[in-house]
């Protein structure tokens, strides 16, 4: 069975034996480790980024479970909002919002419901295959009636306590989806793109001064139609210049942007321009009693690198709206909610706002009101779902007042442990600059906002539960009502003030309000689970990729401050972004990354798990996905362990007990010291949520274990001396058992493979390694003197092997002597050196207090050569034994045919040793009657051999 097949077999083994359920249930209820699994949007197939998140959120719950905590894990799905709506619109081929009304909100919403869990099965497969343990089938969904009811409860509580207000604000708005988007939604998924547009400088003629023009620069010509003012900086110097027969006004420090010949007529402070009126570029039909088309003071905002020091003000910008408010200017919305021109030149009415740009450009040019136009590259936001360019729009919307709780958010941020630590600062900045939270969306598929408004007296009523609705509704309301808008909109309330009908407002909630309510809504708190909640809030751990810092983490924090004045989670692990092989965002259309399933099929889940967990992703830095690296890890980690395990399987033992890790052998003591150091360090690092450092320690340990400990202990495992052999086997079993437990959270598969192998030998006795407790290190088993001396030994061996390499003498050729200087080690270690570098004699030269030096006698005498040949023979014959799958228990007779004098002589001289090393009773130099003969070469001479197994 291949390694990959073994992984797959284990998934079934865990399921058949309910290991996950047992691992949770066996831990006491009053010692919980609470974990929120941030729900993914149920709209697509799992990608590498999701896998990273799946693994991070598996490693720590496993670890804390082994530490004795009860860690319940339940999957969740984000089912609402634009992501799912836009998928459905595409499927239904709906291009505009009013097509949804034509189709019917009910039908549209039910279609969304039917599509939500479309990919759930694919997710389940990936979750299982990656070895992630979670209650998957019993998942919570943000579209559950119970979930939505908690969201109602929360909204009503916040409304009653005065944190909610309705207001007009300038928000990013998608004219295709016809809904505002929050700042965090836009900054989350690289919504900004660099685009080239025409920037223009328009001429505004002063009313009192014909032929004199104020120059104003803009990158959005379509907004000029709705211009209401021009802003200058009153303290800066401006100039009036003469160009041909016209006069132009701009800020003095931008005068070098004038390319024509000019003459300065006058220099003056911007203050002089204030309140001057100018001719609007366009006539519009929107009537306003407010006065516009005049010069105002815009303060420092006016002094940007671009432009003319004179800013054109329309409704479509944050600063603009601030000015409109401050100077009480007319509110002109000349673009309608579909993004089409609603006011301005008659011929253009109905044009898509972006198409208006070109019209304006041409028109101003024809009317000699265009001073200049040029290509301009800038970063512009697009809708993260439908890719439509966004506009700022002044909208009526519902908000949570963030400014009111900002000091509490900032203060309590100090109680959150961010991993890595530096995210805390970043998060602080996010809070400091956070605007009020727009929680209403003019959409369909989400929890309906529970606000009813009287059609007569405009009285407002907020409902906080299905029961409350039942008590107040005119119509019959069933228990457990579905709170989507197409259902709730049919329910009316009688106005308590005037007795007329109250209708629900049309808005639904921002789906982030739902995600942020997860700690309560997933448990239907406070309608259920009140006691559970008291003991299990805040949670111990959450994890997500970096973009969620300003999204899910932030929104959860806001809501928990509003509800309980407390943080919602104590520890947060923030991942970086996985990038495609070309260093850009992973994209299906670019094909810049390998299919995750293909990686898992090739290298297994554990290799991918440890690749991700060892990377800088765990320090919130981005990583370019490299298949080659997964492959390396598979070799460096999985294969090394598998080979150790194979070696272990071939050792003949009946039964080993490993109650004690004590052994007099220094190699044993050394690896036991290393292991206990490892336990100490790994525990500390896991407590600090630092998996990349944990992985580094594991890589080092496994290399030391397999390429130093096992390699230099090989002969002991075959020894006839019972004590020598049993101490080696005991130690090896002890190390394997401990490694299996230590690796369990990180690489649950290979850890279980090792454990089950040990179980067969009676060394461990639980059903699964994942039911074990975490290890305690034993200080007494860390022998610092052994570690020090072995350090020197390894240094000596490394140098000696380099010397051999330089002299081109292979290690299996025994040499006479190595002379060491500047070393202080005991005889036991000298034996290890002799064996590792294959010399007869290790001499310690007497040059005290000097630096380490190694001198290798590289002369090969005839007798050394004979020994070398004998060793070569042993090596080939042992390979032959391996191919026959023999264990050290199997005794053999060896049949040989040798046609070379030297090889024959080597055999003769070292026959006893050879027999010993290959567990042979007899060596017979005769191959007649034998079939399936093995051939190999020694010093280019052919040797033929046949092994007859005796037991
Ligand atoms: Zn959109
Ligand atoms: Zn009323």
Tell whether the model's pLDDT for residue 924 goes beyond 90: yes
Q: Which ligand ends up closest to the CA of 389? A: 1
Q: CA torsion sign, 320 to 322 to 323 to 329?
A: positive
Model confidence band, residue 246 (pLDDT cutoffs 50, 70, 90): very high
pLDDT at residue 669 greater than cutoff 60: yes
Distance 655 CA to ligand 1 centre (A): 68
Q: Which two structure tokens, joined as six digits, stand for 684?
A: 């500390």
Cα distance between residue 138 and residue 522, in whole Å: 11
Which string of DSSP letters, residue by residue, matches 25-73?
A: HTS-TTSB--B--PPPBTTS---HHHHHHHHHHHHHHHHHHHTT-B---
Cα 176 to ligand 1 centroid, rounded to whole Å = 5
The per-residue pLDDT for 929 is 83
Q: What are the pLDDT digits (tens) for 771-780? A: 999 999 999 9
Model pLDDT, residue 380: 87
Question: Residue 189: what pLDDT?
Answer: 64
Q: How far is the CA of 385 from the centre of ligand 1 (A)?
A: 5
pLDDT value at 681 more than 60: yes
Whose tokens are 């070393």? That residue is 823
Exposed/middle/buried for residue 433 (C-beta within 10 Å: 0-12, 13-18, 19+): exposed
The DSSP-derived string for 670-730 is HHHHHHHHHHHHHHHHHHTT-HHHHHHHHHHHHHHIIIIIIHHHHHHHT-S-HHHHHHHHH
Say which residues have a Cβ less than 8 Å from residue 621's Cβ, sequence separation at least 6. 576
Q: Which ligand is nearest to the CA of 502?
A: 2
* pLDDT value of residue 306: 81
For the stretch 851-904, pLDDT in tens is 888 999 999 999 999 999 998 999 999 999 999 999 888 999 999 999 899 999
pLDDT in tens, 134-186: 999 889 999 999 999 999 999 999 999 999 999 988 888 999 888 888 777 77
CA angle 637, 642, 645 (to 5 degrees): 130
Which stretches of 781-891 are assigned E, i.e. beta strand? 815-821, 839-844, 853-856
pLDDT tens profile 433-445: 898 999 999 999 9
With both helix axes pointing from N to C terminus, report the angle between 596-613 and 48-66 in degrees, rounded to the nearest 10.
Answer: 50
> pLDDT category, 660, cuts 50, 70, 90?
low
Let me know how many helices (H) and strands (E) the chain has, helices first.
32, 33
Give the CA dihedral 205, 207, 209, 215, nearest 10 degrees: -30
Q: Where are the beta strands (DSSP E) in 365-433?
A: 370-381, 391-400, 417-419
Burial class (CB in 10 A: 0-12, 13-18, 19+), 693: middle
Per-residue pLDDT band at 684 (split at 50, 70, 90)? very high
Cα 118 to Cα 44, 88, 133, distances in angstroms: 8, 11, 21
> Distance, CA 825 to ligand 2 centroid (Å)?
95
- Give me ligand 1 centre to Cα 439, in Å: 17
- Ligand 1 centroid–CA 553 distance in Å is 24
DSSP state of 341: B
Q: What's the Cα-to-Cα distance from 155 to each of 82, 113, 152, rounded to whole Å?
A: 21, 23, 5
Listed in sequence order, the DSSP H helices in 312-414 are 318-326, 353-366, 406-413
β-pairing, 263-269 vs 370-381, is: unpaired
Per-residue b or e along 812-821, where b marks 16 or more CB atoms closer than 10 Å to that residue's CB: ebbbeebebb
pLDDT category, 591, cuts 50, 70, 90?
confident
How remote is the CA of residue 386 from the centroid of ligand 1, in Å? Answer: 4
How many angstroms separate the alpha carbon of residue 502 from the centre of ligand 2?
7
Give dist(CA 526, CA 516) in Å, integer. 16
Q: How many CB atoms lie within 10 A of CB 671?
A: 26
Closest ligand (CA of 452): 2
Q: What percent of the chain has pLDDT over 70?
A: 98
Nearest alpha-carbon partner for 120 in 85, 75, 86? 75
Q: Which ligand is nearest to the CA of 388?
A: 1
Q: Tell me the CA distances in angstroms from 526 to 149, 150, 154, 724, 790, one per residue in order.
A: 10, 7, 10, 65, 61
Q: How far apart are CA 697 and CA 678, in angstroms?
A: 7
Predicted local confidence at residue 655, as pLDDT? 58
Nearest ligand to the C-alpha of residue 492? 2
Write down the pLDDT at residue 661.
62
* 340 C-alpha to ligand 1 centroid (Å): 15
Q: How far is the CA of 179 from the centre of ligand 1 (A)?
A: 8
Q: What is the pLDDT of residue 190?
A: 67
410 or 117, higher pLDDT: 410
What are the residues whose beta carbons fall under 8 Å from the beta carbon of 854, sequence distance 6 or more?
796, 799, 800, 803, 818, 819, 820
Kindly give, in sequence order, each residue whose CB lies less than 8 Å from that of residue 459, ignoring residues fewer than 6 positions away. 453, 495, 496, 497, 498, 502
Look at residue 229 and tell me whether its pLDDT is greater than 60. yes
**In terms of Cα–Cα distance, which of 664, 666, 738 is closest to 701?**
738
Q: What is the pLDDT of residue 847?
A: 79
Helix/strand/coil (H, E, C) string of 68-133?
A: CCECCCEEEEECCCHHHHHHHHHHHCCCCHHHHHHHCHHHHHHHHHHHHCCCHHHHHHHHHHCCCC
First to last CA, the chain: 26
Yes or no: say if 161 and 563 are a contact pair by the CB < 8 Å rule: no
User: Can you give the pLDDT at residue 138?
Assistant: 87
Distance CA 945, CA 875 (A): 13
Nearest to 754 by CA among 737, 778, 770: 737
Mean pLDDT of the chain: 92
pLDDT, mean of residues 366-377: 93
pLDDT computed for residue 762 by the predictor: 87
pLDDT at 654: 61
Q: Does residue 277 contact residue 247 with C-beta atoms inside 8 Å?
A: no
Indicate the SS3 state at residue 491: coil
Ligand 2 mean position, distance from CA 448 (Å): 21
Is the pLDDT reported for residue 781 higher than 70? Answer: yes
Short-list 551, 540, 483, CA closest to 516:
551
User: Which of helix, strand or coil describes residue 784?
Assistant: helix
The ligand placed nearest to the CA atom of residue 497 is 2
CA of 560 to the centre of ligand 1 (A): 30
Mean pLDDT of 479-492: 96
User: Annotated catalytic sites, by residue?
Assistant: 39, 78, 512, 548, 552, 585, 588
Under a CB-based contact definition with an 8 Å cutoff, are residues 322 and 263 in contact?
Answer: no
Give yes or no for a contact between 461 and 472, defined as CB atoms under 8 angstroms apart.
Answer: yes
Give CA–CA dist 529/77, Å, rounded: 20
* pLDDT in the model for residue 34: 96
Secondary element (H or E) of residue 217: strand 212-218
DSSP, collapsed to helix, strand or coil, labels residue 746 as coil
Q: Which band of pLDDT confidence, cut at 50, 70 and 90, is reported for residue 656? A: low
Name the closest ligand to CA 95.
1
Residue 797: alpha-carbon gap to chain centroid: 42
Percent share of the chain, pLDDT over 90 = 76
Q: Tell me the C-alpha distance between 100 and 108, whole Å.
A: 7
pLDDT at 159: 98
What would the pLDDT profile of 264-288 be if each residue is shown by its tens digit?
999 999 999 999 999 999 998 888 8
The bridge status of strand 815-821 relative to strand 839-844 is parallel
- Closest to 630 (Cα-Cα) out of 645, 613, 643, 644: 613
Which one of 313-327, 625-639, 921-935 scores highest in mean pLDDT? Answer: 625-639
Residues with CB under 5 A from ligand 1 (ion): 174, 176-177, 383, 386, 388
| pLDDT over 60 at 659, yes or no | no
């Amino acid at each position: 069975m291949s390694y990959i097949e073994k992984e797959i077999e284990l998934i079934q083994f865990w399921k058949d034996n309910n290991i996950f359920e047992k691992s949770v249930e066996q831990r006491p209820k009053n010692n919980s480790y609470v974990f929120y699994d941030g729900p993914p949007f149920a709209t697509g197939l799992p990608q590498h980024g999701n896998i990273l998140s799946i693994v991070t959120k598996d490693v720590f719950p496993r670890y804390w479970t082994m530490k004795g905590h009860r860690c319940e894990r339940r999957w969740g799905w984000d089912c609402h909002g634009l992501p799912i709506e836009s998928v459905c619109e595409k499927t239904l081929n709906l291009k505009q919002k009013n097509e949804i009304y034509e189709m019917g909100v009910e039908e549209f919403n039910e279609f969304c419901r039917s599509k939500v869990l479309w990919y759930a099965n694919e997710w389940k497969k990936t979750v299982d295959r990656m070895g992630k343990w979670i209650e998957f089938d019993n998942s919570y969904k943000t579209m559950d009636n119970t979930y939505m009811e908690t969201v109602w409860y929360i909204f009503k509580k916040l409304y009653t306590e005065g944190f909610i207000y309705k207001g007009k604000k300038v928000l990013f708005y998608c004219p295709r989806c016809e809904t505002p988007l929050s700042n965090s939604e836009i900054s989350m998924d690289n919504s900004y793109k660099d685009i080239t547009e025409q920037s223009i400088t328009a001429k505004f003629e002063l009313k009192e001064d014909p032929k004199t023009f104020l120059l104003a620069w803009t990158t959005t010509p379509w907004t000029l139609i709705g211009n209401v003012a021009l802003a200058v900086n009153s303290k800066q110097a401006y100039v009036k210049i003469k160009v041909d027969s016209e006069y132009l006004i701009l800020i003095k420090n931008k005068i070098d942007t004038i390319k024509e010949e000019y003459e300065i007529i006058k220099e003056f402070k911007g203050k002089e321009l204030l309140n001057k009126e100018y001719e609007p570029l366009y006539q519009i039909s929107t009537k306003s009693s407010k006065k516009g088309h005049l010069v105002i003071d815009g303060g420092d905002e006016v002094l940007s690198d671009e432009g003319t020091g004179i800013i054109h003000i329309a409704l479509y910008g944050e600063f603009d709206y601030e000015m409109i408010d401050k100077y009480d200017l007319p509110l002109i919305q000349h673009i309608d909610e579909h993004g089409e021109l609603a006011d301005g030149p008659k011929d253009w009415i109905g044009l898509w706002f972006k198409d208006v740009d070109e019209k304006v450009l041409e028109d101003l040019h024809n009317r000699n009101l265009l001073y200049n136009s040029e290509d301009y590259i800038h970063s512009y936001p697009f809708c993260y779902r439908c890719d439509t360019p966004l506009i700022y729009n002044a909208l009526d919307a519902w908000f949570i007042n963030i400014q009111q709780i900002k000091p509490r958010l900032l203060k309590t941020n100090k109680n959150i442990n961010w991993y890595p630590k530096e995210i805390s600062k970043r998060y602080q900045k996010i809070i400091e600059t956070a605007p009020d939270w727009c929680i209403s969306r003019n959409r369909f598929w989400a929890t309906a906002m529970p606000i009813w408004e009287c059609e007569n007296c405009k009285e407002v009523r907020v409902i906080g539960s299905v029961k409350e609705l039942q008590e107040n509704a005119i119509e019959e309301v069933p228990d457990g009502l579905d709170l989507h808008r197409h259902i709730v909109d049919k329910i009316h309330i009688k106005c308590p003030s005037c007795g007329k009908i109250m209708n629900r407002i049309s808005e639904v909630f921002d789906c982030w309000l739902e995600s942020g309510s997860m700690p309560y809504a997933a448990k239907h708190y406070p309608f259920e689970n009140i006691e559970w909640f008291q003991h299990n809030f805040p949670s111990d751990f959450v994890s997500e990729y970096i973009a969620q810092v300003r999204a899910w983490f932030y929104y959860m924090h806001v809501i928990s401050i509003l509800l309980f004045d407390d943080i919602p989670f104590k520890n947060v692990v923030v991942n970086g972004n996985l990038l495609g092989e070309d260093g850009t965002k992973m994209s299906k259309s670019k094909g810049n990354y390998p299919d995750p399933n293909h990686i898992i099929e090739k290298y297994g889940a554990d290799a991918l798990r440890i690749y991700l967990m060892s990377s800088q992703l765990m320090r919130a830095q981005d990583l370019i996905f490299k298949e080659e690296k997964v492959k390396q890890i598979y070799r460096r980690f999985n294969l090394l362990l598998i080979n150790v395990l194979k070696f272990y399987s071939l050792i003949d033992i009946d039964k080993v007990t490993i109650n004690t890790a004590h052994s007099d052998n220094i190699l044993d003591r050394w690896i036991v010291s290393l292991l206990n150091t490892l336990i100490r360090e790994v525990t500390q690092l896991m407590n600090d949520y630092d998996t990349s450092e944990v992985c580094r320690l594991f890589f080092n340990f496994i290399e030391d274990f397999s390429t130093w400990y096992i390699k230099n202990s090989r002969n002991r495992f075959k020894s006839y001396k019972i004590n020598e052999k049993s101490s080696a086997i005991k130690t090896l079993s002890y190390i394997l058992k401990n490694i299996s437990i230590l690796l369990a959270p990180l690489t649950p598969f290979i850890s279980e493979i090792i454990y089950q192998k040990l179980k067969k030998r009676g060394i461990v006795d639980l059903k699964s390694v994942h039911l074990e407790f975490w290890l305690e290190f034993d200080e007494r088993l860390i022998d610092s003197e052994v570690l020090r001396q072995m350090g020197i030994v390894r240094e000596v061996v490394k140098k000696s092997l380099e010397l051999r390499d330089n002299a081109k003498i292979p290690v299996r050729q025994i040499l006479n002597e190595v002379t060491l200087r500047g070393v202080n080690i005991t005889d036991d270690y000298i034996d290890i050196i002799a064996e590792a570098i294959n010399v007869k004699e290790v001499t310690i030269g007497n040059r005290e207090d000097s630096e380490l030096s190694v001198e290798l006698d590289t002369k090969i005498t005839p007798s050394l050569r004979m020994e070398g040949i004998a060793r070569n023979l042993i090596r080939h014959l042992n390979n032959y034994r391996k191919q026959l799958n023999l264990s050290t228990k199997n005794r053999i007779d060896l049949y040989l045919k040798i046609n070379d004098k030297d090889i024959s002589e080597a055999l003769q001289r070292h026959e006893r040793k050879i027999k010993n090393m290959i567990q042979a009773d007899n060596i017979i130099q005769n191959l007649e009657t034998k079939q399936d003969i093995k051939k190999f070469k020694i010093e280019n001479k052919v040797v033929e051999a046949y092994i007859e197994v005796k037991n």
